[in-house]
């Protein structure tokens, strides 16, 4: 039986770690944590904030995920979208999901990530 998601892995191109840090660290507020020594040899980077764990894995034949994506619940969709746009990241506001405020942000490599917030508290 599934209990939880431990982490998500998002592919990045070889050598993309430094380019990823402003997006996953500075913009999203995730803290980079050391990878275990054996896994660090593969490249990539790990970021965490509380129970949210995002692993960036190097993919030799990298191709951005423009449809498949991870969705994160956030406190301030509009503020995140504004900060992302100001930092030069591609944003796409989407109001097609009733009951939610949401935006798609694209990381420096073109991977699409969804950020959403319920418009009202659950009953």
**Residue range(s) defining the domain that contains residue 15:** 8-118
**Average pLDDT score over the chain:** 94
pTM for the model: 0.91
CA distances 113 to 39, 67, 68, 107, Å, are: 24, 9, 9, 8
Structure tokens at 85: 């746009």
* CATH code where residue 52 lies: 3.10.180.10
- What mean pLDDT is predicted for residues 9-36? 97
Strand partners, 48: 31, 53
Q: Is residue 37 part of a domain?
A: yes
Instruction: Return the C-alpha torsion angle 66, 11, 53, 121, nearest 10.
Output: 0
Residue 122 pLDDT? 57
Q: Is residue 18 part of a domain?
A: yes
Residue 121 or 12, more confident: 12
- What mean pLDDT is predicted for residues 96-122? 91
Number of domains in the chain: 1
Residue range 91-102, pLDDT digits in tens: 999 888 888 999
Q: Is residue 61 part of a domain?
A: yes
Residue range 67-86, pLDDT digits in tens: 999 999 999 999 999 999 99
Q: Is residue 123 part of a domain?
A: no
């Amino acid at each position: 039986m599934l209990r939880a998601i431990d982490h998500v892995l998002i592919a990045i191109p070889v050598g993309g770690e430094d380019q990823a840090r402003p997006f996953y660290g500075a913009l999203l507020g995730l803290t980079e944590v050391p990878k275990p020594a054996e896994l660090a040899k593969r490249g990539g980077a790990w970021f965490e904030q509380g129970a949210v764990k995002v692993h960036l894995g190097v993919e030799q034949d990298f191709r951005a995920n423009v449809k498949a994506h991870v969705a994160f619940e956030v406190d301030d969709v509009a503020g995140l979208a504004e900060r992302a746009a100001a930092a030069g990241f591609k944003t796409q506001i989407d109001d097609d999901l009733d009951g939610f405020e949401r935006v798609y942000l694209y990381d420096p490599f073109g991977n699409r990530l969804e950020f959403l917030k319920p418009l009202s508290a659950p009953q």
